[in-house]
A and B are shown apart, each in its own frame.
Chain A
């Protein structure tokens, strides 16, 4: 069992949620409640990582993160290390690859709030910020939870993007799914099997957790 790979996988999964959830809530809510020019384009762009082969996405991200790209240069100047083949680069890539898995459920969650409920909150004297915290967020909670679980599960299973952007540096960018592939290449079926079982266990735990939490969620409509 490659414990460092497990740690990288879990850090990457939780890190992706932490980075992506605030952005996903902002964009998902925007897409749900506002009409604006270019909304269709934004919705299409959000879906792109879903339909692109992970290796293609990984390739473009690698080019963007490379030492000679503006982003890569800026990061190197700031952090003193390269963005490509680092955990930070992997985290950024993972966040981008997970945008559709996070934004879409959150958008559906906010869309499910009837507009008159939103308006009633305003007529109760709540400021936009109070409406968001007291009414919208609790009601969109099932969608946000789904988004977090999907992002986590998808990050654990991500292979192509991780390999392209992160390589397979132990303790830094080698995740469980990459480690399983490495073990199989080395004809270590037993090592691969243990890690596969670990991933399976994590996936089942995550699903049980989701079900339990969403049972506690409130009925949709009063």
Chain B
């Protein structure tokens, strides 16, 4: 199969400094995460051809969209990009179906209406096909914007803070919808966000951006178990994120078993069915370290592991300890005093103690 990944390399000093290099494969969701003003949106605009970087290369599969050294720059309408804008940018004079049909110019005229209705059905908006944007709620507008972005049969789907303009409840449903999309459309998805909740729920890969520079890029598991990302630590707190599968459900005890890379954790939940794929986040602050497994304690999770890294940053009060438990890596945030008392150093066998209620279990309701 031909490589349909998108690869991006950007370098410029102004107007917004950028210095980064990444690729994203079909089926993957790359979240670009960073403080506002770090250049996140400019990256998406550079991919779409709305911004011409001083230096850079943007390739989609075999096509070169931008290559500044070769003088190549395809205008936006020649790039198969699905772009969901932050404020959706719907055409106010057209109906929902009209908005979607605008992006169907590559299809024969007679097919467009039918195809637009199919796409609106895909985002559960069939009944609103003939409404203008002003007659739609924020969440409905976002779905029209998604349908319009998909109409182009894009080679890459770009989402710019797609949930910023909706309230919490709608946000959850839209997140599930986007997650469901990932399973049906087989293209790279790049999501710009400043909300870590979006990252935990949707991303497979993560790029941390600070002042236009990619300070880290990798899989979500790998990056969330890194102890040395100060901006993430300040903004959201560190904590490893894993994909897990629900094992046995123990409703009488109010618990479920989660199988993560060979380890089994007990989390507090009554609703999840056995076999469900979930995502789990274990905040570093909630992990306690012990030299010996404790006894006579209300705790459900005691995991035996080995210390792999001790990260003491002068800018922070606490120390981040990274430990390997089976195939996964956990982070624990502990005091300097605890490090000294327990003699924590790389290679030390250790026990991680995690309360079942401290494990964040994220379950997508995508269909």
- Interfacial residues, chain A to chain B (CB-CB below 8 A): 114, 116-117, 119-128, 130, 134-135, 138-139, 218-222
Q: How far is the CA of A124 from the CA of B49 in the complex (A)?
A: 12
- Are B92's CB and A125's CB within 8 A? no
- The docked-state distance in angstroms from the alpha carbon of A116 to that of B83 is 11
Cross-chain contact B105 with A130 (CB below 8 angstroms): yes
Contact indicator B77/A122 (Cβ below 8 Å): yes
Q: Contact mask B51-76 → A, CB, 8 Å, 1/0?
A: 00000000000000000000000011
Q: Does A218 contact B92, Cβ atoms closer than 8 Å?
A: yes
Give the chain B neighbours of A120 by CB distance below 8 A. 83, 85, 89-91, 148
Instruction: List residues of chain A with CB within 8 A of the CB of B141.
Output: 222
Interface string of B158-198 (1 = CB under 8 A from A): 00000000000000000000000000000000000000000
Given the interface contacts A221-B134, A222-B134, does A122 sit within 8 Å of B91 by beta carbon?
A: no
- B91 smallest CB distance to A (angstroms): 6
B81 / chain A contacts, CB cutoff of 8 Å: 123
CB distance from A173 to the nearest CB of B (A): 41
B154 to chain A, nearest CB (A): 9
A126-B134 in contact (CB<8A): no
Contact A121 B91 (CB under 8 A): yes
Residue of A nearest to B144 (CB): A222
State whether B106 touches A125 (Cβ < 8 A): yes
The answer to whether B103 has its CB under 8 Å from any CB of chain A is yes
Most chain A CB within 10 A, of B76, B86, B136, is at B76
Task: Known contacts A221-B134, A222-B133, A222-B134; decide if A123 and B76 are in contact (CB<8 Å).
Answer: yes
B92 close to A219 (CB less than 8 A): yes
What 4 A-B pairs are tightest by C-beta distance, nearest first?
A: A222-B133, A222-B92, A124-B103, A120-B89
Provide the bound-state CA to CA distance between A218 and B94, in Å. 9
Q: A123-B149, A125-B105 are in contact. List 16 more A-B contacts (CB 8 A).
A: A116-B89, A117-B90, A120-B83, A121-B91, A122-B77, A123-B50, A123-B83, A124-B102, A124-B103, A126-B77, A126-B102, A139-B93, A218-B93, A218-B132, A222-B133, A222-B141
| Cβ–Cβ contact B89 & A125, under 8 A | no
Interface size class of B (residues with CB under 8 A): 20 to 34
List chain B residues, Cβ under 8 A from A121. 91, 102
Bound Cα distance from A220 to B75, whole angstroms: 27
The reply to whether B91 and A123 form a contact with Cβ atoms under 8 Å apart is no
Chain A's nearest CB lies how many Å from the CB of B45?
Answer: 8
* Residues of the B chain whose Cβ atoms lie less than 8 Å from the Cβ of A139: 91-93
Closest Cβ of chain A to B363, distance in Å, is: 33
Is B48 positioned at the interface, with any CB of A under 8 Å from its CB? yes
* B residues neighboring A (CB under 8 Å): 48-50, 75-77, 79, 81-83, 85-93, 102-103, 105-106, 132-134, 136, 141, 148-149, 151-152
- Which residue of chain A has the shortest Cβ distance to B75 in the bound complex? A122
Given that A119-B50, A219-B92 are known contacts, is A124 also in contact with B132, CB under 8 Å in the complex? Answer: no
Q: How far is the CB of B66 from chain A (nearest CB, A)?
A: 15
Query: Could you tell me the distance between the alpha carbons of A128 and B75 in the complex, rounded to whole angstroms?
Result: 10
| Chain A residue with the shortest CB-CB distance to B76 | A122
**Chain B residues with CB below 8 A from A125, complex form:** 77, 103, 105-106, 152
CB contact under 8 A between A222 and B152, given known A125-B77, A127-B77? no
CB distance from B60 to the nearest CB of A (A): 14
> Which residues on B sit within 8 Å (CB–CB) of A130?
105
Task: Decide: A221 and B92 in contact? CB cutoff 8 A.
Answer: yes
Residues of B within 8 A of A222 (CB): 88, 90-92, 132-134, 136, 141
- Distance in angstroms from B138 CB to nearest chain A CB is 11
User: Are A124's CB and B75's CB within 8 A?
Assistant: no
B-side contacts of A116, CB under 8 Å: 85-87, 89
Residue of A138, A139, A222 with most chain B CB atoms under a 10 A cut-off: A222
Chain B residues near A123: list those with CB within 8 A.
48, 50, 76-77, 79, 81-83, 103, 149, 152
Chain B residues with Cβ below 8 Å from A134 are 102
Within 8 Å CB of B88, what residues of A?
222
Q: Which B residues touch A135, using CB under 8 A?
A: 91, 102
How far is A120 from B92 in the complex, measured between Cα atoms in Å?
A: 12
On chain A, the residues within 8 Å of B83 by CB distance are: 119-120, 123
Give bound CA distance, A154 to B49, whole Å.
43
Q: Chain B: which residue is nearest A123 at the CB level?
A: B83
Residues of A close to B49: CB separation below 8 A? 122
Q: Is the CB of A220 within 8 A of B105?
A: no
Q: Can you list 19 A-B contacts (CB < 8 A)? A: A114-B87, A114-B89, A116-B85, A116-B87, A119-B85, A120-B83, A120-B89, A120-B91, A121-B102, A122-B75, A122-B77, A123-B48, A123-B103, A125-B103, A125-B106, A125-B152, A126-B77, A135-B91, A219-B134
Q: Could you tell me if B93 and A119 are in contact, using CB atoms closer than 8 angstroms?
A: no
